[in-house]
Structures are given as C-alpha cells and as structure tokens.
Amino acid sequence: MNTRVLEHMSRTEVLDYAESEHAHRLQAERNLVAAAYQWALLHHPDRSASVSKRARDRSMPAGAVGTPLITEYAASAFAARIQTSPYGAKKLIADAVDIHHRLPRLAAGLKAGTTRAGHSRRVAEATRELTESQAAWVDAEVHEIADGRLAWMRFLAVLDGKVAAASPELAQTKERAAALERGIRMTRINKHGVATLTIRDHITTLMATDIAITAVAKSLEDTMPEVDLRDRKLAAFAMLTNPEAHLDLAVGPIKPKVRIDLHLTPDSEIARMEDHGPVTIAWARQMIAHVAGQVTVLPVVNLANQAPVDAYEIPNAMRQAVHLIHGGDIFPYAPNTGRRVDLDHNIPYSEGGKTEAGNLGPMTRTHHRIKTHAGWECRQPFPGIILWRDPHGAHYLVDGGSVDNPSPGSSSGEIPTGPTTWSMRPEPASSRNPASGHDHAPTSTSTPSSPSTTPPDTSACHRAD
C-alpha cells in the first residue's frame, strides 16, 4: 500500500488495516507450509527416473520415522527461493510432512485457515520422537488452541505437558539425559571485559542457591548501600564461592527454603511444576527422597471457600487462590504465568469493588498501568472470566485457559496453564462510552450488581488470529 494512503487513515482505519495485513501474513505462512509439502512429494526418489542410485540410497524420511522419503539435497533449491539456509528449509519440509501424515486435525485447520502455521510446526517438531498414535493423540489435544488464542509461551507450556503425557517413558528418558548434562562452564559470550558463567544442575539445587545468594546480598545492604540488588548478588556470589578472598565475611550459614508448586492430575504420570514445566511423578519422588532436605507439604487451597475481606489489602491465602483461578496475567495475550505480579481490583476498591477472588486479577505492572491510565476496562462476571474492552471498542474475553473445552464459562477439569484470549468485533462507535483513562469498570457511574447465573454472551466472539 502507498504510505501516503496510510498517512490519511484514522486510528480505527489503521487498526483495521493492520488486522487485515496480519491475516494475510498468517495465510502466507500456511501457504508456505503447503508448498513445502508439495516440494517433498515432488522429490520422492520414485517420482523421477533421473535420480541416481546413490541419491536413491541416501534418501531419508522427510519427517518423522515412517514418513515418505525425500532425496538428500531436495531442500537446497527450496531454501534459496525463500531466502533461508538448506537446514532451515529441511526443517520446514519435515514439519510440513509430519503435519500432513501425523497431525490430521492441525492439517485440516491449516487448510481451513483456522490454525496458525507456526503453532502447527511447533507441534510437529515436538512430536517427532513420538509414535504415530502418540502424535495423533497430542494433535487431538492441542489443535483447538493452535489458533493464537494463547500467548506463545503458554501454548508451549500446554504442548510440553501433552507431549510428556503422551509418552511418560520418553519424558523420563529425557530427564535422565538432562541429569547427565549438569556442570559449570564459561561460555563464549565474553566481550568488553564481561564473561558469562553457565551453571546447569538440578532445579531445586539452583533454586536453593539463588535464595542463599539473595539472603547474603540482603545482609550487604548496610555495607554496600550505593549499589542495587543485582550488584550485591554478584558480590554475594563471589563471597560464597571464594570466602578466603573475603576474610571479613560475617554472614553465617544459609539454610534456604524452596517452595515448589506441583499440579497433579489423577491417574497421570506427569505433573506440572510452576515456573519450570512438566515433570514425571518419578522425578518428583526422586527429588523429595534424594535432593530435598526436610519437606513440608502445604495444604491445598480451596478455591470455592474464599470469603471476601473488608479491606483493600489482600490476604496471602486469597492471593494464592487468585493465582490458581487465573493461572497468570489476565491481560489479553499476556504470556506471564509467574506469581510476582500485581493483583488488580477489576472494579476499584474506592468505587465499591470488593476485595474478593471474583474481583481480583493478576497483572504485570505494565499491564496494570495500561488498565489504569490508557483507557482499557475490564469486568469479571464470574471468577476466572475476564471481559476486556480496549479504547477503540474491541472486546476480548479471557478465560482460565481450559484446554479440552475452550468455550467461556465451561469447565473441563484440566489443570489451568494460563488464560485463553478470545476477541470480539468492536461495537458501533455510537454505542461506546468514552474512555476516561481511569481504573474502573465499563460503566463508571454505578456499582455493578452481584453476578447473575447466566453465562456471558459469546455469540459475537471469534478466535483471535
């Protein structure tokens, strides 16, 4: 498009144009996957009589074991046309072949234009070591969320869990292999007088080490008041690893406590460890028996028994419950699933909003400020269901990240891995309330009544591409 045309567009027209170009880009990616598959078909060793015996003998499966053969150097010409390396084109062709032969639901979604090519390719790569039936199971589990409704990192978290559940034996083999890769080494990223030291060890050991370093850094506040925590942690690391060089060290022994949150599903050999990913139950047992010291099992938080409090401050038990309800940042497409976030009163406390699980949502500080100052508004008609409206009238429905059934308001029994985002078309300009830029609900002049028992209307809702 002529940039001069863009220069005369309104804000709404620019957004519509960007949305249209984004859709074209996604379709171009789907078309490229289809072209890669067709290229593989054209380079099966039986398709051409000119293929030499040597080339025929060196043919390999184009994708996973059992997929059709492809000649050795078939990817080179394709790579040059799409301006990538032969290695990159070989990966694209392998993904395309696996999608077609092993992931039928994702293949159908690509053909229909409802599935993203990048998501489908990642599933193909992640399932390449699985059997055909195991890959098909993962395909059935994740194809509905391969349309972009989840932030990329949250999609990967779901995918990793499904791949591990499809083959717990393979997951355990990879855990044993990873355990052999532990060690400390200097990396090659050493420039301008600064070097990088990489440490690979059991996650609980490194979590305890980080807590110990932070504790020592805290004790150095009085002696090093001019530096920030990052520099004090470096000093603490030097003191702990080379105490003879710091004879004035007055810090006593550190006994760090590490908190690990494991999410378990009945009859499953795979658990989800927060801030880490899927682990086998066997790994968890081994960690408790041989790595951890004294173990304290904390009670499970009852999400259905969270009474509101008559104060602005949020009790710790309620914070835990809110995190478990939402699974991460509630801003549309936000990837953060950590616990170091703000808890926002969706309806401000100063405007009658209650301090209760159904009126709180985790957000990073940036997203919290966007809601407060940039004209974004949200309501939570049910705990875990967030309805957003941006300053231009577009709506986004963020639910609890259900995988088996993405319909808002339903429950699949799946352990949440983070909110799922659905988008809705902007309402007519004449029916919008002007965005005031304050932290309030869509109708700021009245306090909303208690939630009804009718699920939110999603008839105008479409999955975001």
Question: Could you please report the per-residue DSSP string of 47-103?
Answer: S-TT--HHHHHT-EESSSTTSPEE-TTHHHHHHHHTTS-HHHHHHHHHHHHHHHHH-
Contacts 24+ apart (CB under 8 A), 441-450: 441/346, 441/347, 441/351, 441/353, 441/377, 441/378, 441/379, 442/377, 442/379, 442/389, 444/351, 447/347, 447/351, 447/352, 447/353, 448/347, 448/379
In the prediction, which pLDDT does 293 show? Answer: 66
Q: Which positions ≥6 away from 316 have C-beta within 8 Å?
A: none
CA distance 456 to 199: 49
Tell me, what's the pLDDT at 15? 93
pLDDT tier at 37, thresholds 50, 70, 90: very high
Judge if 241 and 266 occupy the same domain: no
Confidence of residue 190 (pLDDT cuts 50, 70, 90): low
Contacts of 428 (CB under 8 A, 6+ apart): 393
> For position 136, what pLDDT does the model report?
97
Q: What percent of the chain shows pLDDT beyond 70?
A: 80
Q: Is the pLDDT of residue 251 over 80?
A: no
**Residue 451: helix, strand or coil by DSSP?**
coil
State the DSSP code for 133: H
Decide if 18 is inside a domain. no
Cα torsion 88, 89, 92, 94: sign: negative
Say whether pLDDT at 215 is over 50.
Answer: yes
Mean pLDDT in residue range 370-379: 89
Tell me if 101 sits within 8 A of 95, measured CB to CB: no
- Do 266 and 232 have their domain in common? no
* 2 within a domain of the structure (yes/no): no
Higher-confidence residue: 145 or 261?
145
Number of folded domains in the chain?
4
Same domain, 267 and 220: no
Average pLDDT over residues 79-107: 95
Q: Specify whether 405 is located in the same domain as 346.
A: yes
Residues 278 and 326 in one domain: no
The tokens for 317 are 């038990």
Q: Are residues 33 and 119 in the same domain?
A: yes
- Exposure string (b/e) for 392-408, b if CB count within 10 Å is 16 or more? ebbbbbbbbbbbeebeb
For residue 335, give every residue at least 6 positions away whose Cβ sits within 8 Å of its Cβ, in sequence order, or none.
Answer: 151, 152, 153, 154, 328, 329, 418
The answer for 393, left when phi > 0, alpha when psi is -120 to 50, beta otherwise, is left
Which pLDDT does position 438 carry in this prediction? Answer: 36
Report residue 26's pLDDT band, with 50, 70 and 90 as the boundaries: very high
Are 346 and 280 within one domain?
A: no
Residue found under tokens 């809601």: 371
Give the separation between CA 414 and CA 405, rounded to whole angstroms: 9
Assess whether pLDDT exceeds 60 at residue 257: yes
344 shares a domain with 276:
no
Residue 141 CA, chain-centre distance (Å), reads 16
Is residue 310 domain-resident?
A: no
Q: Is residue 42 part of a domain?
A: yes
Q: Which two tokens stand for residue 233?
A: 């942690």
- For residues 420 and 329, what is the distance between their CA atoms, to the nearest angstrom? 10
- How high is the pLDDT of residue 225? 85
pLDDT at position 463 is 37
Given this model, what pLDDT does residue 272 score?
87
Asked whether residue 430 falls in the same domain as residue 343, the answer is yes
The mean per-residue pLDDT over the stretch 336-354 comes to: 90
For residue 112, what pLDDT is reported?
A: 97
User: Region 57-69: what's the mean pLDDT?
Assistant: 92
Q: Give me the pLDDT at residue 135, please.
A: 97
Same domain, 275 and 331: no
Collapsing DSSP to helix, strand or coil, 280 comes out as strand
- Domain-embedded: residue 156: no
pLDDT of 266: 82
- For residues 279-299, average pLDDT: 79
Is residue 451 assigned to a domain?
no
Same domain, 88 and 187: no
Summarize the confidence of residues 267-284 as an average pLDDT.
86
* Domain hosting residue 208, numbered range: 183-245
What's the pLDDT at 121?
97
Residue 39 pLDDT exceeds 90: yes
Continuous segment of H or E residues that includes residue 234: helix 229-241
Q: Which two tokens stand for residue 69?
A: 């053969």
Q: How far is CA 370 from CA 221, 279, 306, 364, 445, in A?
A: 33, 35, 28, 10, 21
* Residue 418, Ramachandran bin (φ over 0: left; ψ between -120 and 50: alpha; else beta): left
Residue 74 and residue 190 share a domain: no
How confident is the model at residue 286, as a pLDDT?
81
The confidence score (pLDDT) of residue 65 equals 94
Domain boundary at 87, 120, 147, which? 147
Task: Report yes or no on 9 lying in a domain.
Answer: no
- With residues binned 3-state (H G I as helix, E B as strand, rest as coil), the percentages for the chain, rounded to 5, are 45, 10, 45
| Average confidence (pLDDT) over 413-419 | 49
User: Does residue 18 surpass a pLDDT of 90?
Assistant: yes
Q: Which range is least confidently modeled, 126-135, 169-178, 242-251?
A: 242-251
pLDDT for the residue numbered 458 = 36
* pLDDT value of residue 226: 85
Could you tell me if residue 16 is inside a domain?
A: no
Per-residue pLDDT at 464 exceeds 60: no
Q: What is the pLDDT of residue 138?
A: 97
**Position 299 pLDDT exceeds 70:** yes
User: What is the arithmetic mean of pLDDT over 171-200?
Assistant: 82
Q: What phi and psi, each to the nearest 5 degrees, are found at residue 385? A: -115, 115
What confidence tier does 403 reach under pLDDT thresholds 50, 70, 90? very low
User: Which of 43-57, 138-152, 196-210, 292-306 has maximum average pLDDT?
Assistant: 138-152
Higher confidence at residue 188 or residue 106? 106
Summarize pLDDT for 331-344 with one digit per residue, the tens.
Answer: 998 888 888 899 99
Mean per-residue pLDDT over the chain, rounded:
81
Residue 124 binned pLDDT confidence (cut-offs 50, 70, 90) = very high
On the question of pLDDT at 41 being above 80, the answer is yes
Global pTM exceeds 0.85: no
